[in-house]
A and B are shown apart, each in its own frame.
Chain A
Amino acid sequence: MNTTFFAEDRKGWMSLLASADEARLTELWHGFGADPACEFLRAPEAGGVMVRGRMGGTGAPFNLGEMTVTRCALALTDGTVGHGYVQGRSKAKAEIAAKVDALMQTGAAEALRAAVLAPLAEERQAQKDTRAAKAAATKVEFFTMVRGED
């Protein structure tokens, strides 16, 4: 396996899982059906991450404030390790994310991608597009009035 390609791909699905709606992720995960046996390497725990910004948007970093994140690590019976880092405080969501991460490194990857990741990605894109479309409708079209100079 090409490791750079794998890391990019893995970054993609982990990122998608991190901000997924918990109810929807749970629904899709249950729809997928398989819930593999696993052992926690790190039980789900909620914590904070300090979010940083840059002065003027592009300058030196500063600490803006924290956000809640829940993480978890587990190993499948074949030893494959999965990590979950998700936004918010849901331990159940972090656990599903870690299981998906682990299974995505196995032969189940394509089925899982189709059952869980693809719909999540599609719905997320649709949500973003809806907001962008509403924003676009509020874009100001300037026009110049005819000036009475004659």
Chain B
Amino acid sequence: MYVAVKGGERAIENAHAWLAEERRGSKEVSELSLAQIREQLSLAVNRVMAEGSLYDPDLAALAIKQSRGDLIEAIFLIRAYRTTLPRFGCSKPVETGKMACDRRISATFKDAPGGQVLGPTFDYTHRLLDFKLAADGEVPEAAVAEPRREATPHITEFLQGEDIIEREPFSDAEPGDLTREPMSFPAGRAVRLQSLARGDEGFILGMAYSTQRGYARNHAFVGELRIGCVPVEMEIPELGFAIEIGEVELTECETVNQFKGSKTVPPQFTRGYGLVFGQSERKSIAMALVDRALRWEELGEDNVGAAAQDEEFVLSHADNIQATGFLEHIKLPHYVDFQSELELVRKLRREAEELAQTLAAREAAE
């Protein structure tokens, strides 16, 4: 029997009103502006844009404010908003080789052309709490030097000169889009990269770490990590040519991984790739390691049964909105489901009791 139950509207309304009040916090503390979030919590904004899969710093700041700093909730808000936007088209692939680099380092070549540019990094800080920040926000001006005018070449270009690293086959093949078609397996590298780019940072980090600890180890070096802005170009049909429709900040990581060779092919390094919206270097390095692990088949490696090699496992669990949706739904009313289970368990217990009584009676009679 199906029983429709209504109720709870007033409780829900009051709960949401209280939520709004709690979100605001004490009125004796001034309210956060979106500009403050965008400018001063920019790495949180970056994460929400990357995993929300929508580059718009103001919207991400709004989502962070609305979600009280719960970034997965903020990502959820962005994903929901994204679905309301009409799609104007697709950009031309961004040219990361022309990036205006704020940061560019290589763990493999000390003297790479363009140099090791640290940028605004947490590296080499002592991770000691800075109590000065609790007092005031005064910061000295950053130092300047003669800026580099020309583009900074990719490190892999130099290795490719010697053919000592695998080449990325160039193509203009139309990539699959998991926002348009449900994922199916095998997904192919384009869809894998899209899924990893918007996947949960913690999950991708854990998967990448598992490869470093020996579950499908691929011995990665960070060949290059670069952060900076690139223009985004799109063909405008009504104009008949491409224009820049804006600029996005990206983090790109290229790993140089364990080499392989055979009797006929000389040994060659392999590669993994990470590209993420915003300044997100942990995520981009992790993405490159997982991308590399998932390429085992095309590189002729053994499937050692590691989780990071299992495309279905990685891609189906990387999305924190899918995951949290399914996980959290179990807290919502399941009264009828539970009622039927309760009935069933009671019935089983009753039957077991009756059986025990019957057996006891038979024993007594014998």
Contacts and interface: CB of A to CB of B under 8 A. Distances in A.
Interface string A96-125: 000000000000000000000000000000
B273 A135 contact: no
Nearest to B232: A51
A140 B116 contact: yes
Contacts, number: 236
B50 interface: yes
A130 B90 contact: no
A148 interface: no
Contacts of B88: 47-49, 69, 71
Contacts of B55: 51, 65-68
B110 A142 contact: yes
Contacts of A66: 53-55, 82, 85, 87, 179
A73 B291 CA distance: 41
A50 B277 CA distance: 12
Nearest to B105: A140
Given A18-B244, A56-B156, A60-B175, A138 B236 contact: no
B246 A52 contact: no
A59 B56 contact: no
B56 A60 contact: no
B305 interface: no
A132 B143 contact: no
B277 A65 contact: yes
A114 B191 CA distance: 46
B193 interface: yes
Interface in A47-104: 47-69, 71, 73, 83, 85-89
Interface residues on A, range: 35 or more
Given A19-B246, A61-B190, A49 B168 contact: no
B239 interface: yes
A138 to B, nearest CB: 4
B312 interface: no
Contacts of A57: 96-97, 154, 156, 168, 252, 254, 273
Contacts of B190: 55, 60-63
Interface string B139-161: 00011111111000010100000
Nearest to B88: A47
Given A47-B88, A51-B55, A57-B156, A87 B246 contact: yes
A143 B147 CA distance: 21
Interface residues of B, number: 85
A86 B191 CA distance: 28
A65 B91 contact: no
A140 B209 CA distance: 28
B236 A132 contact: no
B266 interface: no
Nearest to A4: B241
A131 B154 CA distance: 20
Given A66-B53, A89-B59, A50 B142 contact: no
A70 B210 CA distance: 42
A60 B170 contact: yes
B45 to A, nearest CB: 14
A53 B275 contact: yes
Contacts of A52: 90-94, 175
Given A50-B87, A68-B54, 14 more contacts: A48-B54, A51-B232, A52-B92, A53-B275, A56-B273, A65-B197, A66-B54, A68-B59, A83-B236, A89-B58, A136-B117, A138-B103, A139-B115, A140-B118
The 6 closest A-B pairs by CB, nearest first: A87-B246, A59-B168, A132-B147, A15-B244, A56-B168, A133-B144
13 contacts: A10-B241, A14-B243, A15-B231, A46-B85, A49-B232, A51-B91, A52-B94, A52-B175, A65-B55, A68-B54, A68-B55, A133-B144, A135-B117
